[in-house]
Amino acid sequence: MSDRGGYGQFCPVSMASEVLCTRWTTLVVREMLMGSSRFNDLRRGVPKMSPALLSKRLKELERAGVVQTERGASGSVEYRLTEAGEDLRPVILGLGEWGHRWVESQLTLRNLDPSLLMWDMRRNLNPEPLPPQRCTIHFLYPEVSKAQQNWWLVVDEGTVDLCNSDPGFEVDLQVTGSLRSMTAVWMGLARLSQEIDSGRLELDGDDRIARAMQAWLGLSSFAPVSRRVP
């Protein structure tokens, strides 16, 4: 299933690497472990991966017994991890924890991607601290390309939607600032209050929602991992 020849070794590390170490494969598995099952949702988690390559990787993982396809309620194809795929959870999370602990953070923050950041924030958002009525939060990153500057999180009855075009609802809170700062907060590399006090992030709108931002925003699942980079 690899894009290149196999390693030709009987070692289990070698055999597992032939399944997992092709480009993008571990990230596709990561997205499925995070709950994505539809093709378009998987694409949003790996926005720089072409649809053709994603389709190829899914077929390879299916042949390897890691992924299986099902028909959803609407009749659309959904991708689910098999028992073998679910067994990769500690492997993939372990890779993430190692990267967070040992890869120098300034190098990490070069790979900024607003679509991936907002998609991660959308699926980890905690709606409980927000008002019971529909709530719209607008994120504006002025320094990135125009097509990637504006993002809206719409929270309604516990459901969180992410929009890259104006959904037309009244904005309850606007968060304006550096994509780098917002990513650092999300990854646990900087404190939200610190970025606000420094002026790198500005909050305008409902004061209650602004004060509760850390509670509803949450953090990346890797943020609690202690860093060991000198």
**For the whole model, what pTM was predicted?**
0.80
> What would the pLDDT profile of 100-123 be if each residue is shown by its tens digit?
888 866 656 677 899 999 999 998
Task: Determine the average pLDDT of the residues in 199-227.
Answer: 92
At 1, the pLDDT band (50, 70, 90 cuts) reads very low
CATH of 12-87 among 1.10.10.10, 3.40.50.740, 3.40.50.150, 3.50.50.60: 1.10.10.10
What's the whole-number mean pLDDT along residues 156-162?
93
Query: CA–CA separation, 226 vs 159, rounded Å?
Result: 31
State which CATH number among 1.10.260.30, 2.40.50.140, 3.90.470.10, 3.30.1050.10 fits the domain covering 112-217. 3.30.1050.10
The one-letter amino acid code at 33 reads: L
pLDDT number for residue 229: 65
pLDDT at 77 over 70: yes
Binning the chain into helix, strand and coil, the percentages to the nearest 5 are 45, 15, 40
DSSP 8-state symbol, 154: E
Q: Parse the chain into domains and list their residue ranges.
A: 12-87, 112-217
Tell me what pLDDT residue 38 has: 94
> What six digits make up the tokens of 41?
């949702």
Instruction: State the pLDDT at residue 2.
Output: 45
